[in-house]
């Protein structure tokens, strides 16, 4: 019996020593990377000097253990709600029980059986078949004649009184094309990504022959006409107290045989009742002076990714800088290539935050309730993840994808936690990124702008079309309306009333 006890003690001691040796080997390997690795794999002395985390992997263990029970409970609550939400979503479908062609004209044809006298029959039922058809697009020319009159009594007068209807309002110079045609050209190019040369071919197939230079001039003239509306939109968006900002690359072909990368900035009103967004192109610059100049008088919340030019706004009085959790999640997903288990743990914790957001949306929670739930559930999860990042930083080199993911997230963590302060704030800025898709699809079709002026015109069109999508109105109907109404005699308030948000409210 005594020999068995001695054996068990020695065995336990051996297991402990074995684990300790493995632990020390891991840290020795890490230190060797610091001493003998390439310069980019080494930490600067100030980053690890007097820092016990290299040798004491459990330095944050107590902090994590204290919250373990709380986090476990929060996690279970979130997952249980998510399970109910998914089950409910399985039992409901958005597809109608009977397919319907919403708002389309229906032309009814009754097919009677042949060789039968209907007057001798009782109808006991009816089968209905609906077949979708399309009519060939038709273009037409409006011919406006304005007869000129003079009174008969003034035939012999040297300066008779002349009567004639006023000149029709011009949509653009020359008055050769209507607002409806121009709106369709713009929508086809900027919403449906059909380049001008393809539209010209389509017009020719339908009997309308338009030179490419003419159509291109019409597009630029339309942008010029809409410019006052675009400027009014910029001013209106900047009145919001919550903006999401991002940049999108556009190609500019202003040098013979090559293109350069320019950037357009997006400023989106992220309030629940959004007024839309606008694109801003300034010489293709991605420098920090662009947002600093645009937002020099701004007060409110700004949500961005981790691009360093936004760090400036951390120190601007009256501005709350928010981060984007989606960018952090992408970094950890990429890091699974090198540290699959460690990165998956980070993704799992972030997924809990997104599950919480989905649960809150599903319940239709008020903004006050959203803020309360975030403080009670999201903040403890994020505080735990912050400790986890500090503890995990010793397990990989700074140049590794996992090291970069940890560094990116840890630096932005205070900024990322601020979304819990207000129920209106979003966990990420995916909505402003989604608004980039039309311009990304556009550049894959018409490829580039010939110069900066063309890129500015693109910014005008994308701003108005995407704002229509955000506020929920038909962009084609809207552009047709405003191109017909805009003229040089409108004051600032009248122009503002034509913005997508106010246009919808007036309907």
User: Could you report the per-residue pLDDT of 139-177, keeping only the tens digit for each?
Assistant: 889 899 999 999 999 998 889 999 999 988 888 887 789
Which of the listed residues 426, 454, 476 is the one where a domain comes to its end? 426
Q: Report which of 267, 276, 189, 248 is spatially closest to residue 457, judged by C-alpha positions.
A: 189
Please compute the mean of the pLDDT values over residues 325-336 and round it to a whole number. 92
pLDDT band, residue 137 (cuts 50/70/90): confident
Q: Where are the beta strands (DSSP E) in 140-257?
A: 242-255
Q: In this predicted structure, what is the pLDDT of residue 181?
A: 93
Give 424's pLDDT tier (boundaries 50, 70, 90). very high
Domain termination site, one of 426, 461, 489:
426
The residue written with tokens 């957001």 in the block is 357
Residue corresponding to tokens 């405003």: 482
Task: Return the minimum-mean-pLDDT range out of 15-24, 225-234, 273-282, 343-352.
Answer: 15-24
The least confident of 22-31, 46-55, 239-248, 287-296 is: 46-55
Nearest CA-CA partner of 467 in 446, 447, 448, 482: 482
In which domain, by residue range, is 360 found? 247-269+281-426
Number of domains in the chain: 2
- Residue 48 forms part of a structural domain: no
| Residue 256 phi, psi (nearest 5) | -60, 125
In tens, the pLDDT along 226-237 reads 999 999 999 999
Predicted confidence at residue 444, as pLDDT, reads 63
Over the stretch 17-45, which tens digit does the pLDDT of each residue have? 887 776 566 556 545 544 544 333 343 34
Q: For residue 480, which of 177, 145, 237, 142 has the smallest C-alpha distance? A: 177
For range 385-400, the mean pLDDT: 88
**pLDDT-derived band at 7, boundaries 50, 70, 90:** confident
Q: Say how far apart CA 238 and CA 146 lie, in whole Å.
A: 46
Among 426, 447, 472, give the residue marking a domain's end: 426
Tell me the mean pLDDT in the region 189-205: 91
Residue 356 lies in a domain: yes
Higher pLDDT, 267 or 338: 267
Cα distances (angstroms) measured from residue 261 to each of 61, 65, 265, 304, 336? 48, 50, 13, 21, 31
Establish if 219 belongs to a structural domain.
no
Does 93 have pLDDT greater than 80?
no
Residue 67 — very low, low, confident or very high, per pLDDT cuts 50/70/90? low
Q: What is the pLDDT of residue 481?
A: 95
Position 131 pLDDT exceeds 60: yes
* CA 92 – CA 90 distance, rounded (Å): 6
Mean pLDDT confidence for 277-303: 93
pLDDT of residue 44: 39
- 15 lies in some domain: yes
pLDDT for position 106: 87
- Residue with the larger pLDDT of the pair 392 and 479: 479
Beta bridge pairs of residue 302:
243, 321
Residue ranges with strand state E in 308-400: 319-322
Classify 117 in phi/psi space as left (phi over 0), alpha (psi -120 to 50) or beta: beta
φ/ψ (deg, to 5) at 244? -115, 135
pLDDT (mean) for 454-477: 94
Instruction: Measure the CA–CA gap between 359 and 83, rounded to whole angstroms.
Output: 10
Confidence band of 250 (pLDDT split at 50, 70, 90): confident
Predicted TM-score (pTM) of this structure: 0.79
Residue 204 lies in a domain: no
Per the structure block, which two tokens stand in for 91? Answer: 């039992």
Q: What is the reported pLDDT for 374? A: 94
Task: Indicate whether 292 pLDDT > 70.
Answer: yes
Least confident of 41-45, 163-167, 456-460, 498-502: 41-45
Confidence class for position 59, pLDDT limits 50, 70, 90: very low
Position 442 in a domain:
no
Instruction: For residues 121-150, give the mean pLDDT.
Output: 88
Lowest mean pLDDT among 135-144, 280-289, 462-471: 135-144
- When the pLDDT of each residue in the chain is averaged and rounded to a whole number, the result is 85
């Amino acid at each position: 019996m005594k020999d068995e006890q001695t054996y068990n003690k020695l065995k336990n001691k051996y297991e402990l020593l074995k684990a300790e040796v493995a632990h020390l080997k891991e840290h020795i390997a890490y230190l060797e990377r610091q001493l003998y690795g390439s310069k980019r794999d080494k930490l600067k002395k100030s980053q690890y000097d007097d820092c016990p985390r290299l040798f004491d992997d459990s330095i944050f263990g107590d902090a994590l253990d204290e919250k373990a029970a709380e986090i476990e409970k929060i996690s279970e609550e979130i997952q249980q709600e998510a399970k109910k939400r998914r089950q409910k979503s399985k039992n409901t479908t958005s597809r109608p029980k009977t397919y319907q062609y919403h708002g389309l004209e229906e032309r009814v044809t009754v097919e009677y059986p042949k060789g039968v006298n209907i007057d001798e029959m009782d109808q006991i039922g009816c089968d209905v078949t609906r077949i979708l058809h399309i009519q060939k697009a038709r273009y037409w020319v409006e011919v406006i004649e304005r007869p000129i009159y003079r009174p008969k009594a003034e035939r012999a007068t040297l300066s008779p009184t002349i009567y004639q209807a006023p000149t029709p309002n011009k949509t653009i110079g020359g008055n050769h094309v209507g607002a409806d045609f121009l709106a369709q050209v713009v929508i086809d190019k900027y919403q449906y990504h059909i380049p001008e040369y393809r539209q010209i071919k389509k017009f020719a197939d339908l009997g309308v022959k338009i030179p490419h230079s003419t159509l291109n001039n019409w597009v630029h003239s339309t942008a010029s006409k809409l410019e006052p509306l675009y400027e009014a939109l910029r001013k209106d968006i900047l009145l919001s107290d919550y903006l999401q900002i991002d940049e999108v690359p556009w190609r500019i072909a202003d040098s013979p045989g090559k293109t350069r990368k320019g950037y357009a900035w997006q400023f989106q009103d992220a309030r629940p009742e959004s007024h839309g967004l606008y694109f801003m192109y300034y010489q293709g610059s991605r420098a920090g002076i662009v947002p600093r100049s645009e937002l020099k008088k701004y007060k409110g919340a700004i949500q961005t990714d981790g691009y360093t030019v936004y760090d400036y706004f951390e120190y601007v009085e009256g501005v709350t800088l928010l981060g984007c959790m989606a960018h952090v999640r992408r970094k950890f997903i990429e890091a699974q290539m090198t540290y699959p288990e460690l990165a998956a743990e980070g993704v799992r914790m972030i997924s809990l935050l997104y599950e919480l957001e989905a649960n809150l949306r599903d319940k239709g929670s008020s903004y006050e309730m959203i803020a309360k739930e975030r403080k009670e559930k999201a903040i403890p999860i994020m505080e735990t993840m912050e400790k986890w990042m500090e503890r995990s930083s010793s397990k990989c080199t700074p140049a590794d994808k996992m090291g970069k993911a940890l560094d990116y997230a840890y630096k932005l963590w205070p900024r990322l936690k601020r979304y819990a302060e207000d129920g209106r704030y979003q966990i990420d800025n995916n909505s402003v990124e989604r608004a980039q898709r039309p311009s990304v699809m556009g550049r894959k079709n018409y490829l580039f702008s010939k110069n900066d002026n063309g890129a500015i015109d693109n910014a005008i069109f994308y701003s108005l079309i995407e704002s229509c999508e955000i506020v929920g109105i038909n962009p084609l109907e809207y552009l047709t309306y405003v191109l017909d109404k805009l003229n040089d005699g409108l004051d600032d308030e009248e122009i503002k009333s034509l913005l997508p948000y106010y246009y919808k409210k007036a309907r």
